[in-house]
Amino acid sequence: MDRATLHAKYAKYHRDNRMALRGLRMKRAPLYRDLTEYYQGTLNGDPDALKKLGKEPLRRKVLDKTIPVYLESDPDLQVIDAKIALLEEKETWLNGVLTQINKLNYDHRNAIDALRFFRGDML
Protein backbone atom coordinates (compact mmCIF):
# COMPACT_ATOMS: atom_id res chain seq x y z
CA MET A 1 0.00 0.00 0.00
CA ASP A 2 1.50 3.33 -0.98
CA ARG A 3 1.84 6.25 1.38
CA ALA A 4 -0.89 8.39 -0.21
CA THR A 5 -3.48 5.60 0.03
CA LEU A 6 -2.49 4.87 3.61
CA HIS A 7 -2.70 8.56 4.51
CA ALA A 8 -6.12 8.90 2.86
CA LYS A 9 -7.42 5.87 4.76
CA TYR A 10 -6.38 7.19 8.18
CA ALA A 11 -7.36 10.77 7.32
CA LYS A 12 -10.90 9.51 6.66
CA TYR A 13 -10.91 7.70 10.04
CA HIS A 14 -9.64 10.89 11.70
CA ARG A 15 -12.32 13.04 10.06
CA ASP A 16 -15.11 10.62 11.00
CA ASN A 17 -13.82 10.45 14.57
CA ARG A 18 -13.68 14.24 14.86
CA MET A 19 -17.25 14.56 13.59
CA ALA A 20 -18.47 11.94 16.07
CA LEU A 21 -16.64 13.74 18.88
CA ARG A 22 -18.15 17.08 17.88
CA GLY A 23 -21.61 15.49 17.78
CA LEU A 24 -21.22 14.05 21.28
CA ARG A 25 -20.04 17.39 22.65
CA MET A 26 -23.06 19.07 21.08
CA LYS A 27 -25.33 16.42 22.61
CA ARG A 28 -23.70 16.83 26.04
CA ALA A 29 -24.29 20.59 26.35
CA PRO A 30 -28.12 20.56 26.41
CA LEU A 31 -28.13 17.47 28.63
CA TYR A 32 -25.80 19.23 31.06
CA ARG A 33 -28.09 22.28 31.08
CA ASP A 34 -31.24 20.17 31.58
CA LEU A 35 -29.65 18.18 34.39
CA THR A 36 -28.47 21.38 36.06
CA GLU A 37 -32.03 22.70 35.97
CA TYR A 38 -33.27 19.34 37.28
CA TYR A 39 -30.92 19.40 40.26
CA GLN A 40 -31.77 23.06 40.93
CA GLY A 41 -35.39 21.97 41.20
CA THR A 42 -36.75 24.14 38.40
CA LEU A 43 -38.04 21.15 36.40
CA ASN A 44 -40.14 19.67 39.19
CA GLY A 45 -43.30 21.39 37.94
CA ASP A 46 -42.81 20.34 34.31
CA PRO A 47 -43.77 16.67 33.80
CA ASP A 48 -42.89 16.76 30.08
CA ALA A 49 -39.32 17.87 30.79
CA LEU A 50 -38.98 15.22 33.51
CA LYS A 51 -40.29 12.56 31.16
CA LYS A 52 -37.83 13.68 28.48
CA LEU A 53 -34.98 13.31 30.97
CA GLY A 54 -36.35 10.04 32.30
CA LYS A 55 -36.26 11.35 35.87
CA GLU A 56 -38.69 11.45 38.75
CA PRO A 57 -39.37 14.76 40.53
CA LEU A 58 -36.53 15.63 42.87
CA ARG A 59 -37.74 15.22 46.46
CA ARG A 60 -35.02 17.19 48.18
CA LYS A 61 -33.38 20.58 47.76
CA VAL A 62 -29.85 20.42 46.36
CA LEU A 63 -27.54 23.26 47.33
CA ASP A 64 -26.06 25.19 44.41
CA LYS A 65 -22.50 24.43 45.47
CA THR A 66 -23.18 20.66 45.48
CA ILE A 67 -24.81 20.54 42.02
CA PRO A 68 -21.46 19.72 40.30
CA VAL A 69 -21.17 16.63 42.52
CA TYR A 70 -24.60 15.44 41.39
CA LEU A 71 -23.81 16.20 37.76
CA GLU A 72 -20.54 14.25 37.87
CA SER A 73 -22.34 11.24 39.32
CA ASP A 74 -25.34 11.35 36.96
CA PRO A 75 -25.37 8.11 34.90
CA ASP A 76 -26.61 9.77 31.69
CA LEU A 77 -23.82 12.33 31.74
CA GLN A 78 -21.24 9.69 32.67
CA VAL A 79 -22.11 7.64 29.59
CA ILE A 80 -21.59 10.61 27.28
CA ASP A 81 -18.38 11.64 29.09
CA ALA A 82 -17.00 8.10 28.71
CA LYS A 83 -17.74 8.14 24.98
CA ILE A 84 -16.11 11.56 24.64
CA ALA A 85 -13.00 10.34 26.48
CA LEU A 86 -12.77 7.29 24.22
CA LEU A 87 -13.07 9.39 21.06
CA GLU A 88 -10.46 11.86 22.38
CA GLU A 89 -8.01 9.00 22.93
CA LYS A 90 -8.78 7.68 19.46
CA GLU A 91 -8.17 11.14 17.98
CA THR A 92 -4.80 11.38 19.74
CA TRP A 93 -3.81 7.98 18.36
CA LEU A 94 -4.94 8.87 14.83
CA ASN A 95 -2.96 12.13 14.98
CA GLY A 96 0.14 10.09 15.81
CA VAL A 97 -0.53 7.65 12.97
CA LEU A 98 -0.96 10.48 10.46
CA THR A 99 2.24 12.14 11.70
CA GLN A 100 4.18 8.89 11.26
CA ILE A 101 2.77 8.38 7.75
CA ASN A 102 3.78 11.92 6.81
CA LYS A 103 7.25 11.27 8.21
CA LEU A 104 7.75 8.10 6.14
CA ASN A 105 8.78 10.01 3.03
CA TYR A 106 11.58 11.81 4.89
CA ASP A 107 12.72 8.61 6.63
CA HIS A 108 12.97 6.75 3.31
CA ARG A 109 14.88 9.59 1.69
CA ASN A 110 17.31 9.80 4.61
CA ALA A 111 17.90 6.04 4.49
CA ILE A 112 18.64 6.15 0.76
CA ASP A 113 21.01 9.11 1.24
CA ALA A 114 22.81 7.23 4.03
CA LEU A 115 23.28 4.16 1.80
CA ARG A 116 24.65 6.35 -1.00
CA PHE A 117 27.04 8.02 1.44
CA PHE A 118 28.35 4.70 2.78
CA ARG A 119 28.84 3.36 -0.77
CA GLY A 120 30.79 6.49 -1.65
CA ASP A 121 28.34 7.79 -4.21
CA MET A 122 27.77 11.06 -2.37
CA LEU A 123 30.35 13.17 -0.63
Could you tell me the CA-to-CA distances from 51 to 38, 45, 47, 57 in Å, in that order? 12, 12, 6, 10
- DSSP-H helix ranges across the chain: 3-40, 47-53, 67-72, 75-119
Other C-beta atoms within 10 Å of 103: how many?
A: 10
For the full predicted model, state whether its pTM sits above 0.85: no
> Per-residue pLDDT tens for 8-19?
999 999 999 999
Report the alpha-carbon distance of residue 106 to residue 116 in Å, rounded.
15
Please give the angle made by the CA atoms of 37, 38 and 43, to the nearest 5 degrees.
85
Position 123 scores a pLDDT of 54
> Per-residue pLDDT tens for 33-58?
999 999 998 888 888 888 988 888 88
Report the alpha-carbon distance of residue 11 to residue 114 in Å, rounded.
31
Q: Are 26 and 87 in contact (CB under 8 A)?
A: no
> CB-based burial of residue 76 (10 Å sphere; 0-12 exposed, 13-18 middle, 19+ buried)?
middle
Higher per-residue confidence, 30 vs 110 = 30
> Per-residue pLDDT tens for 98-117?
999 888 877 778 888 888 88
